[in-house]
Amino acid sequence: MTGSETLLKPEQCALLLVDFQAGLAFGVESFARQTLLNNAVALARTAIAFKVPVVASTSASRVYSGPMLPALQEALPSVTPVERRNMNVWEDDVAHRAVMDTGRKRLIVAGLLTEACVSFPVLSALNDGFEVFVVADACGGLSPAGHDLALRRMESAGAQLTSWIQVLLEFQRDWTRHETYEDARSIVVANGGGYGMGLAYAREMIHPA
């Protein structure tokens, strides 16, 4: 695989979002919860901007975990989460079929909790020949150690670790790609911290002659 083929392309990818629900977010101790939510929303918005199919799945939404977090529902108004019982998306027929129906073999994954409902489908997808990219800063674990160990296990099995901003920049690749420029820029401005502040500042200060 050449360098250009190694880089992510939107038309090759699908995004799997797992269990972004309040009942699970309450237990996250590996990451500041508001930052985690910011990163997950930015990743979801990135998928929509670049027309990447999104599969979302929830579990125990009526008895413990609650619905998908409102900020993600707002970012993904046309995505209905697949409710399942099994911890592993890959072992739930409906959720697994939803991923397979995208027809994409490069799977980008984020969710809660890193130690279980993220790592289980990642390991299963790798075993089935998928190329899997785990958005580590949009995953939350029960402890920093548990989160780190789960990431290390997935990476050892062949998953590639990345961040939401790298996914966006890898998709955009060139700021002269006008068809996605405005959407990509707006996501960075809204969710990209200091980098987003810089882009907003540049737009205000730099004017063509």
Residues serving a catalytic function are 117
- Residues 6 or more apart from 11 whose CB is under 8 A from it? none
The span from the CA of 139 to the CA of 148, in Å, is 11
The span from the CA of 120 to the CA of 150, in Å, is 10
Secondary element (H or E) of residue 72: helix 70-75
Phi-psi category of residue 158: left, alpha or beta, with phi > 0 → left and psi -120 to 50 → alpha: left
The span from the CA of 97 to the CA of 91, in Å, is 10
- Residues 6 or more apart from 90 whose CB is under 8 A from it? 96, 120, 121, 124, 125, 128
